[in-house]
Chain A
Amino acid sequence: MLHPVDRICMLVENLGIMRNVWKTHLGTEVAYDPQYHDNARVEVASFISEPPALVLDVGCGGGATGKILKQKFPGIRIVGVESNPQAAEHARQFLDEVICEPIESAPVRERLKGQLVDLVLLLDVLEHLYDPWRSLLRVRSWLAPGVRVLASVPNVRNLVTLDDLAAGRWDYEPNGVLDITHVRFFTKASLRTLFEETGFAVLEMTPIFRPEAVDPYVLARRPGRLTTRNLSISFRNREDLEDLYALQYVIDARASAPELAEIVGATREPEGAHL
């Protein structure tokens, strides 16, 4: 026979409600969690058709995505940047080099020693940063014009989050859109602005779906309108409907022309840690 408190805890856990997630998933010493840091982004690999010679994987975690990229394109070099020491240590077995420092202070330019990066990955990184704008400027300063950047960022305008918010819920979770370590939230439009204001040209923003996560929320779908338990929301067209279903966007951008980057960078490029 379980103690009543344990039974309630079990019940709460079964309901999928994590209490006190701040105690376990937030703080100065966040442990390396293979499930969290070793999430191989196969769908992001699908955006890469040509083998890049040198990849900079910012926020490489345990190196899982780098590992599948190396399988897909044998012979490519990958340099990772990761602030979590345990994750960085784990990533060293897959990547060619791992810089274990936060993006704001990582000595990437020094460690690259003039090698030209072909592709930058920023997978689920920007939403964890207090100042993603200056961090992107910093990334931009490492790159030649035209270098490709692939970033993935959660879309806060998805039906699951909207429906919960409409009901007054904004529950931080150990992962997902409302991951408790997220400090910035973006929509499709604000993501585009984020990149365009920091020296990048956005070519494409591809929504990433998990229909099986969103569909249960939809009670009725009529032409032009969706109804969830707590919300009735109209959509203008297919893109708009897809936006409601998108849990993430993959941003395909290029470092834009040098004049712009210099103008923007000259006034703002921070040296050393900046938070």
Chain B
Amino acid sequence: MPPVSRNAPCPCGSNKRYKDCHGAIAAPSHPEAQPPTVDATRSAREGTETSYRPSGPDWDHLSDTERTACSILMQRALKQQLAGKLVDASASYSEVLAQAPNTHDALHMVGAIELRRGNLAEARQLILAAMKLRPPYPDIEHNLRMVEDLLRASRVDAGRAPVATEELCERALSILADLALRPTRPGRLQRTSRNDRMESGQGPVHLIAGVLNTSDEGAWLVWRLATLLAPMRPTVWLSAADPPEVRADVRIRSLAPDVGDFPRDGRLVFVGLDIDCAEWIDLTDAQRILIFCQPAAPSLYLDQLRAISRDGSRPVHLLFPSQAMAARFGAGYSALPPPIEADGRKSESVHERVASVGSTSAVGLIGRLWQGTSPSDDAEFLRHVAGSAGLLEIYDPGALRYTLGAEPAVRFWRRGASALRSFVSEVDCVLHVANKWWLEGDGRELFMAMAAGTPVICPRGSMFAEYIDHGVDGLVYDDRDEAIELLWALRRRPAWGMSLGRSAHAKVAALVAPARMAHALEEFVLGERHPIEPSVASKVRQLAMAK
């Protein structure tokens, strides 16, 4: 059992503090492949020549020469593992095991590598063998739990096609919620935040945006948050050497942990999860850690949240773009719609054009989100869509160029920072698709369409379906046939589409009104009370009805 405090002595009897001994957090590129032996890990990371020694009697029967050889091999293996060279690391560990089959750490690590590769049965055997040699400690217990959970998840799917890592990880998110996350319950939060305030007053706010959200269109969320949180004077941290745009109103700093440039304290607000923080997150003394959970692969959630929360030793607060997504992590997490700018309403002239053309309507599709399972079925469906509407317009089409490039009734829009706005206002409706929740994007396109007065046709299983009232401000479909029927109906009755669009615009304008957004975000960042109303949808309905 780990001790209550990470500063307490380690139960292994080493006289070190738990956090410096078995509770240490290595720099894991993948949490389950975390090397356990602190000294060796640290020396491998720092490149110093402290040699590896097992912390138990694993090598007592070896000669000095053999021990040195094994020690060098272990060190190499750990280095390889930390560098992500799993194949090489596994080979090096196997060499150690050939000489000393009872090397606990080598067994554990090969198990962790097999887990990473998805060979669950092997991983389980190896970790169990390792556990026979030592009393249990948190890392190995976690790894075993993960293997067993994934095994259970894969048994549920027995008979179906082999499950991809992402899907297994998705099912493991519930473990993550136990391990790493503390839902923000109103009562708890009151206490935490009062402590926060008493201890520190209002610490600086850091928006940590990492590498991927810099120069592409996804940067909108970072800059939007910076604008909305401007009264709190946030610092934006980017890992790119050259910030893609310089803004007078925002302080931009370069995230460079190797030269000591990273946020040290205050409120850390992570924008998205595609951020490499393993190097520095342990060294920060943050008052409050918040994460804008933009859709990311479940494996990234596992990696990043475990690192950021220090394996559950400090609370993190999550904000999701919808309740449906938050619910995957358990009860009690917050949700807020994407903070888009709700201006740019579709002009009446576009409506008139639609009314006059009547016979064809243009259905928009965000191609990037289209991650179909069977390309031929998908192509067939999309041809139907084009046929039902008269014209299919695809924004950021990606691989759809291959399947539909020769279709006369399909047009393609390239991705671009300003293109999205014209796209969503030029089409007559937007068809949303959702095969996997983590591929659905952050909902920006969908909300921008609604704000522009373009109705959205959304699958019921989508994590954004909760924002749409079927037949009032958008349409919800159960299967593809129903989607096709809805498209036909919209084409026959352009006036219906226009009235849906007007309601959609009113709803989004109320939902993401800048003052309301800024207030909700400020509450989330300061943590002064339960940040975001649990049921955005019902709130929105009230707002819409009041209008």
Give the interface of A toward B (CB within 8 A): 40-47, 49, 68-69, 71-73, 204, 206, 208-209, 211, 219-220, 222-225, 227, 229, 232, 235-239, 241
Contacts and interface: CB of A to CB of B under 8 A. Distances in A.
A68 B401 CA distance: 14
Nearest to A204: B414
23 contacts: A40-B406, A42-B401, A46-B401, A47-B405, A68-B406, A69-B406, A206-B414, A209-B398, A220-B84, A223-B212, A223-B239, A223-B275, A223-B276, A224-B239, A227-B83, A232-B83, A235-B211, A237-B215, A237-B216, A237-B244, A238-B212, A238-B218, A239-B216
Given A237-B211, A239-B216, A220 B405 contact: no
B492 interface: no
B216 A220 contact: no
Interface residues of B, number: 37
Contacts of B85: 219, 227
A241 B215 CA distance: 12
B401 A236 contact: no
A42 B405 contact: yes
Interface string B82-107: 01111100000000000000000000
A42 B210 contact: no
B215 A46 contact: no
A43 B402 contact: yes
A45 B411 CA distance: 10
Among A40, A211, A225, A236, residue most surrounded by chain B Cβ atoms (within 10 Å): A236
Contacts of A47: 401, 405, 412
B240 interface: yes
Contact of A43 (B29, B244, B405, B410): B405
Contact of B408 (A43, A44, A73): A73
B407 interface: yes
B444 to A, nearest CB: 15
Contacts of B215: 236-239
Nearest to B219: A237
A237 B84 contact: no
B153 to A, nearest CB: 22
Among A45, A71, A229, A237, residue most surrounded by chain B Cβ atoms (within 10 Å): A237
B149 to A, nearest CB: 22
A185 to B, nearest CB: 24
A86 B274 CA distance: 52
A45 B406 contact: yes
Contacts of A43: 401-402, 405
Among B84, B214, B276, B406, residue most surrounded by chain A Cβ atoms (within 10 Å): B406
A140 to B, nearest CB: 24
Given A47-B412, A224-B212, A227-B84, 20 more contacts: A41-B405, A42-B402, A42-B403, A46-B404, A46-B410, A47-B405, A73-B408, A206-B414, A219-B85, A219-B86, A219-B87, A223-B212, A223-B239, A224-B211, A224-B276, A236-B214, A236-B241, A237-B214, A237-B215, A237-B244
Contacts of A225: 276
Contacts of A73: 408
A57 B539 CA distance: 58
Contacts of B397: 46
Contacts of B283: none
Contacts of A209: 398-399
B412 A49 contact: yes
B212 A72 contact: no
A237 B240 contact: yes
Nearest to B29: A222
B259 to A, nearest CB: 16
A219 B414 contact: no
A9 B223 CA distance: 59
Nearest to A47: B412
Interface in B120-163: none
Contacts of B86: 219-220
Contacts of B211: 223-224, 235-237
B210 A223 contact: yes
A161 B405 CA distance: 27
B192 to A, nearest CB: 28
A68 B402 CA distance: 12
Given A46-B401, A209-B398, A237-B211, A72 B275 contact: no
A68 B414 CA distance: 21
Nearest to B88: A229
Interface in B184-220: 210-212, 214-216, 218
Interface in B396-427: 397-408, 410-412, 414
A57 B357 CA distance: 35
A224 B210 contact: yes
Contacts of B84: 219-220, 222, 227, 232
Interface string B211-247: 1101110100000000000000000000111001000
Contacts of B407: 72
B210 A46 contact: no
A208 B240 CA distance: 25
Contact of A222 (B87, B214, B276): B276
Contacts of B239: 223-224
A42 B276 CA distance: 38
Nearest to B411: A49
B44 to A, nearest CB: 16
Nearest 5 CB-CB pairs, A to B?
A46-B405, A42-B405, A43-B401, A238-B216, A46-B401
A151 to B, nearest CB: 16
Nearest to A211: B399
A139 B298 CA distance: 50
A198 to B, nearest CB: 23
Nearest to A240: B215
Nearest to A242: B216
